[in-house]
A and B are shown apart, each in its own frame.
Chain A
């Protein structure tokens, strides 16, 4: 398969679009947790119950369409190879939890991959809906409409006082987790982010890196999401998150401007060195790759680099994950082999742009 073909299949169509504020906000997501009223939650349900739910989803929603979301396909975990599952995780279409408890898990995915419903994860139903850029309200509206569409055929576990009932007490109420993925290189460079994270936590929001482990945020990509799901309406939760994200966008833009004004040449140098590493290296670990990709993306946003599309950061962060590298190679790879493959995939990808 050619690299271009592979990329087209690997990157969800919605990801290749540019949304509002996409110089900083890569994507917006709404996740809703729902359960069947009459069936114990997956943690205690018996196998028949869970299989029954899978069959129900296949029958009622398989090949159906709703709004802009067409041809839903139910992908059962026990029918996939482990690399295929890993690829779905790296595309954020399913969670590692669904893979780990995969005997009765499945995902109902729309053709454009904007909607993915995990079935029999920690809850019976986890609706996820993505939008490119900063579009939380739109995502909430469509997620809620989609939720209504599912509800036409399902009796949800709901209580007037506690709201939507979920397996974990941290999700009860709205069952909603709203989040945005943000690229914040300048706030990291100026170390402002270290002061901002505790302040954001105080507001009931969670900040974490998407790639990398612990407090590390590879590629300077952060996810900001709501912690509280009970006692606040969906709209209020989204409003509160929105206003914090708005401030972060402003701060990041100011920091970028300041760095450019005060040390423009140094910044330009850093960006082009990273571009040099990506275009020439023969072995590259994911940590270095994500650092360089973040620099190059910043270079594109600031106009230093002009012939590469913005989506390259998001795209290559995903394509250079272990699952994708192995799928492209069509075999299992050792970590050392991956570093070689990663370097060559990035070189090839950048060459595609130079040939245009």
Chain B
């Protein structure tokens, strides 16, 4: 089995991760396990400067997803937040974001950092602000129900599946009406 991160080396570490209550199988090589933050280091290497300097270094590795790009690696364009002006390099040095927009700007590059700091997690699974959250609450519920639906269909429990499908329709309706309210 090949490593799911670099698709180059064989996967030597296999484990199950629980994210948002869903199990996800992870198969990675040792190098990626460390660099992509799947393996949480012990407390001594846990300090943020350590984490970030580690990341800073592997930025210079060819990290391409496909095999044929590795030979022609070029430095990526400079990443800079358009709202606060913080660059990705500066971020790795100070270990702090400059504004909310930085998160979107640095995007996927942050996943390994979050995984290392937060024991393999990179996606939020907690409170959603009441007013600001809008239809996120309902959308999350719908997503959960859809996964349940797929599962039921696969295991041919069609009666249950029909109930779940109805529930999803109800939630979708609710979402649409809430959007209506928001326009007033």
Tell me the A residues contacting B by CB distance below 8 Å: 35, 37, 39-41, 43-44, 122, 144, 147-148, 151-152, 155-170, 172-174, 176, 201, 204, 227-234, 237
What's the Cα separation between A162 and B100 when bound, in Å?
11
Decide if A168 touches B127 in the complex (CB within 8 Å).
no
- With a cutoff of 8 Å between Cβ atoms, the chain B residues found around residue A122 in the complex are 96
With A35-B100, A159-B103, A204-B119: A169-B124 Cβ-Cβ less than 8 Å: no
Decide if A230 touches B95 in the complex (CB within 8 Å).
no
- With a cutoff of 8 Å between Cβ atoms, the chain A residues found around residue B114 in the complex are 162, 169, 172, 230
What's the Cα separation between A44 and B120 when bound, in Å?
29
Decide if B125 touches A232 in the complex (CB within 8 Å).
yes
Query: Quick check: is B133 within 8 A (CB to CB) of the other chain?
Result: yes
Q: Please pick, from B19, B99, B122, B128, the residue contacting A40 in the complex, using a CB distance under 8 A.
A: B99
Residue of B nearest to A233 (CB): B126
- With a cutoff of 8 Å between Cβ atoms, the chain A residues found around residue B104 in the complex are 159
Decide if B118 touches A158 in the complex (CB within 8 Å).
no
Tell me the B residues contacting A by CB distance below 8 Å: 19-20, 42-43, 48, 83-86, 94-100, 103-104, 110, 113-114, 117-133, 136
- With a cutoff of 8 Å between Cβ atoms, the chain A residues found around residue B96 in the complex are 41, 43, 122, 167-168
Of A151, A172, A174, A201, most B-chain CB atoms within 10 Å: A172
Residue of A nearest to B91 (CB): A169
- With a cutoff of 8 Å between Cβ atoms, the chain A residues found around residue B118 in the complex are 173, 228-231
Decide if B117 touches A169 in the complex (CB within 8 Å).
yes
Residue of A nearest to B140 (CB): A160
Decide if B48 touches A230 in the complex (CB within 8 Å).
no
Q: Please pick, from B117, B123, B126, the residue contacting A234 in the complex, using a CB distance under 8 A.
A: B126
- With a cutoff of 8 Å between Cβ atoms, the chain B residues found around residue A158 in the complex are 128-129, 132-133
Decide if A148 touches B103 in the complex (CB within 8 Å).
no
Residue of B nearest to A170 (CB): B117
From residue B144, how far is it (CB to closest CB) to chain A in Å? Answer: 13
Decide if B84 touches A44 in the complex (CB within 8 Å).
yes
Q: Which 6 A-B pairs have the closest CB atoms?
A: A231-B121, A163-B124, A157-B100, A230-B118, A44-B98, A40-B99
- With a cutoff of 8 Å between Cβ atoms, the chain B residues found around residue A201 in the complex are 42-43
Cβ contacts A to B, 13 pairs, < 8 Å: A43-B96, A158-B132, A158-B133, A161-B123, A169-B97, A169-B110, A169-B114, A170-B117, A172-B124, A173-B121, A174-B127, A231-B124, A233-B126
